[in-house]
Amino acid sequence: MLQDEATIQSLRRDIALQVSKIARRSGDTQVLVARRLGIPQPTLSKINNGRVHDLSIELLLRVAIRAGLVLTLQTGRDAEEAGAFISGLVRGSVPATGSKLAKEARKSLQAPENHLTPIERLEAFLQHNQLLAALHQAGRAAEQKRVLQPPHTA
């Protein structure tokens, strides 16, 4: 049971770190950011200062979603393997669910992980994140191409 708590605490800290980074990057006051995220300012202060032991993962995930973060959560047999990794920002992006890259990323998650060593799981996770990064890059390139195209005239 102690292992579960250590893993959950690690996930809490990592989610809070990602939310804190995006909140600080905005340059707005905590009051404005908290209002946008739909949480009280003291809760945002706790998140920014890493005092999240009493916040639920569900609340932190809701805040991350409201902040437009795309996160990958990792658990493992050991608490040290747990973490929340940012994959990108949602803001105005259109998911490419039918693309080859998206299919490869989903397929990499479906590998039979229960037979993998911690090193193999980490390598699979890194490969999955590389596929996600390529997917996001392809989406950004497609969006940039769309924006740069001259408007069609009727």
What are the sequence ranges of the domains in the chain? 1-90, 92-154
Q: pLDDT: is 42 or 73 the higher one?
A: 42
Determine the average pLDDT of the residues in 4-30.
89
Q: For residue 60, what pLDDT band results from cuts at 50, 70 and 90?
A: very high
Question: Would strands 83-89 and 69-74 be described as parallel, antiparallel, or unpaired?
Answer: antiparallel
The model's pTM: 0.57
Asked if residue 45 has pLDDT above 90, the reply is yes
How far lies 116's CA from each of 46, 47, 124, 128, in Å? 37, 34, 9, 15
Q: What pLDDT sits at residue 92?
A: 42
Annotate the chain with three-state secondary structure.
CHHHHHHHHHHHHHHHHHHHHHHHHCCCCHHHHHHHHCCCHHHHHHHHCCCCCCCCHHHHHHHHHHCCEEEEEECCCCHHHCEEEEEEECCCCCCCCCCHHHHHHHHHHCCCHHHCCHHHHHHHHHHHHHHHHHHHHHHHHHHHHHHHCCCCCC
As a whole number of angstroms, the longest Cα–Cα distance in the chain is 66
- Which CATH homologous superfamily contains domain 1-90? lambda repressor-like DNA-binding domains (1.10.260.40)
Q: How does pLDDT run across 88-128, given as a tens digit for each residue?
A: 665 543 343 456 666 666 666 555 555 667 777 777 778 87
